[in-house]
Amino acid sequence: MSSERAPVWLRSVHRWFLFWADVVPSVYRVVAVAIGAAITAVVVVVATTVGWLVAAMLALVGWIVLAVIQDHDQVVRLDVVGEFRDFLREQADPVLARAGFNFNHASGPIRARPDRSDTYLYEAIDSEGEGCIDLWICRDRSDGQMEVPVDGRCLDRLVVSHGDPQLAARVTRAEQPAGDVAAFELVLPGRADHTVRRR
């Protein structure tokens, strides 16, 4: 089982690379290493008697090593929260199955990223039988909030479009597993023809 958080020294490295991933997504790793190495070289030259060339080479090698470590750590996934997973499989699976959805897999959040959501994928065959419709349950383990996209649209928005805003609020208010499943029971049973049809 993976540790819930990256080591303290590595969290700042993750933040640095993720910042540049937002700024320049296509070449963020090169930019992050180059700018990090340049800043480090300046600090080393100012703080020591090391020459510019040596400082630049040492800084560049150091940042390349950090980039490799960060790259390996950012694919580490945490285990899903066991209590919610077990309750979901026991209580929600039959409800979703009646609507035509079968469980595919579950995965925890990536340790290096700020998103703390466990994700569960359910799939159904569309009404034409030509493809799959995905239902994702994304549950934030820190505050219990859920997003439930169905075929790329949020389930709570679909519920609102059918005139039930209170039910929409229940779908995404994941205060306890029993309440979450109760919301699904109101949305999905007996609606396989409606739920699994592409719009």
Alpha carbon 75 to chain centroid, angstroms: 11
Question: Percentage of the chain with pLDDT > 70?
Answer: 70
DSSP structure class, residue 143: T
| Helix or strand (DSSP H, E) at 103 | strand 102-107
pLDDT at 187 over 60: no
Domain ranges in the chain are 8-73, 82-195
- Give residue-wise pLDDT tens across range 43-95: 999 998 889 999 999 999 999 999 999 988 888 888 888 888 887 787 778 77
Residues 6+ apart with CB under 8 A from 142: 116
